[in-house]
Chain A
């Protein structure tokens, strides 16, 4: 079985803080991590490999430093890492990104399952996964919380819904975006870390993946960012004082309209 995992290296958003005085982003020393949702995709891919025997290729579109994310994925059990990197990709929105990744996947060749994390913690759009499956014209199931069975060219999965889940059957090859409920990602092992250190990451440019210039980067992006601003910070309010009974009464008065 050949499983492809698409990951993204993102800034560790918990470290990105707003300077309360200047109302600007403080970005010194923010480290880059694998998008948290992608770690679940990586874990599921490695589990599928262990369950069905096969190979896991991890791929990312990003700047040269994204190589460290690929190496980390290898230390967790992926077999090969591919970095799709080119200045021509700058300014890509989710349309262009999913197009670029689908070109890379076409170059990788035959596969059974593509796994993606539900969304990236910086963009938060959850659009790239479905975008890839549309560009490749393969069926998809999003919000997968369990892969029950893969047999005879069909996969049966549980898709998480707001009030429960659906059991969906899909022919393979197909794409799944996964949610955190699907597994608990493992920590890297020493052997994995050593393998990652020795691994050679393949690098592909826009030309290598036969991408059409009008579909990549800024030119390939229907959406444009016109403004970035920091939201007005939520301010603290009133501190209430008194003993438990007094406080309860005050709170009751203040919140009466909301709770009834």
Chain B
């Protein structure tokens, strides 16, 4: 019995192979001029349905009885704090959240958990929060999975938000996945684009997949709240509006909710001489073309003058020229600075995946065929050992250092 949810209408199929090429999972092949779907590989994503010019592919996404979701309203932003300091990702999400709340006709609500954290509420209000759910307790001083998850679940059950946004940080990802599973909600991670389908009241969540090679738009049709995590520096921080006012709702919870199975023994800060790569506005990055570990000194000097972070390609990290914490790329950090200066980096796709969303890319390489020039805003073919010192000198002049 064939109960498959995807079918080819053979009479309409012409074997044109458009679907074969679009399928991200390689699940379609052509046999005897007709498309055949390998159900073991098919993920029912529907990319082929859209691509077929002959409407020969049908996906039955199942008709589940649409639940009554009218009780859910408002857009929530989980505001992350570390050591009593609200992380900037929270502000970015408040900015985005406001736009979504307006389209949905709901309020923008900030959720803040911490210990003696009340003074920080204003920072959230000034960035547009109409309501702040504040849970202040010693047990919530530092992030722990159990109390934070339980508190958030209680808040959701009581106040029923329609959308929840959270930063795609170490804390955010850990927390929000547990919440989503517990309340049976749909969660989409690392969204680069958010929008609202106003008719269906759906959050349209767009995110990269396959290392950024394709984009997918995802919805949660039948579950609420609709939850998304967003990486920092993807959305814009809103302007400060110190005259904005909000309702603050303070909640208290029992020991049961605030208890934790895990316990934090210590918090160790590793002070890096250079700025946190993921947060940096400017990054100067070195690749194999710099020739050797000692040449990172040129890169570091330029970075110092610019107040930039130092990045590296995988080749240099593998060769032991610089620690892995500086690696940018598919198996390293993803960055989106305003300016990325790539020195002696060829631009293999694994590296590009990590930095292609930089606003401006300046590439310097002695090889005119280096793939990086295909994506660089400005390209220079030349000897990095001549150019970098010249740039350093020029920037020093401009910045009057």
Chain A residues within 8 Å of B, Cβ to Cβ: 11, 13-14, 16-19, 22, 24-27, 30, 36, 63-65, 85, 87, 90-91, 93-95, 98, 121-127, 129-131, 133-135, 139-143, 156, 158-171, 174, 180-181, 218-219, 221-231, 234-240, 244-245, 247-249, 251-252, 254-256, 258-260
Q: A90-B43, A181-B324, A240-B380 are in contact. List 18 more A-B contacts (CB 8 A).
A: A14-B330, A25-B24, A90-B39, A134-B181, A143-B174, A158-B268, A169-B263, A169-B264, A180-B324, A224-B61, A226-B46, A226-B204, A228-B50, A230-B214, A235-B374, A237-B379, A238-B378, A255-B339
Instruction: List B residues 88-123 near A (Cβ within 8 Å).
Output: none
Contact B324 A237 (CB under 8 A): no
A-facing mask of B132-162, CB < 8 A → 1, else 0?
0000000000100110010000000000000
Tell me which residues across on chain B come within 8 A of A240, comparing CB atoms: 378-380
Give 13 CB contacts A-B under 8 Å.
A122-B211, A126-B189, A134-B182, A135-B181, A167-B268, A219-B64, A225-B217, A226-B46, A228-B46, A231-B208, A231-B212, A247-B387, A252-B398
Tell me which residues across on chain B come within 8 A of A130, comparing CB atoms: 173-174, 177-178, 181
Chain B residues within 8 Å of A, Cβ to Cβ: 4-5, 21-26, 39-47, 50-51, 61-62, 64, 82, 142, 145-146, 149, 169-171, 173-174, 177-178, 180-182, 184-190, 204, 207-223, 261-270, 276, 278-279, 282, 306, 324, 330-331, 338-339, 348-350, 356, 359-362, 373-382, 386-387, 389-391, 393-395, 397-399
Decide if the interface of chain A is mainly helix, strand, loop or mixed: mixed
Question: Given that A63-B41, A91-B43, A121-B330 are known contacts, is A170 also in contact with B261, CB under 8 Å in the complex?
Answer: yes
A140 (CB) vs chain B CBs: closest residue: B145
Contact A239 B381 (CB under 8 A): yes
Question: Given that A17-B213, A247-B382 are known contacts, is A90 also in contact with B265, CB under 8 Å in the complex?
Answer: no
Tell me which residues across on chain B come within 8 A of A224, comparing CB atoms: 61, 218-221
Contact A248 B180 (CB under 8 A): no
Question: Given that A95-B180, A121-B330, A163-B270 are known contacts, is A127 also in contact with B189, CB under 8 Å in the complex?
Answer: yes
A142 (CB) vs chain B CBs: closest residue: B174
Bound-state CA distance A133–B348 (Å) is 36
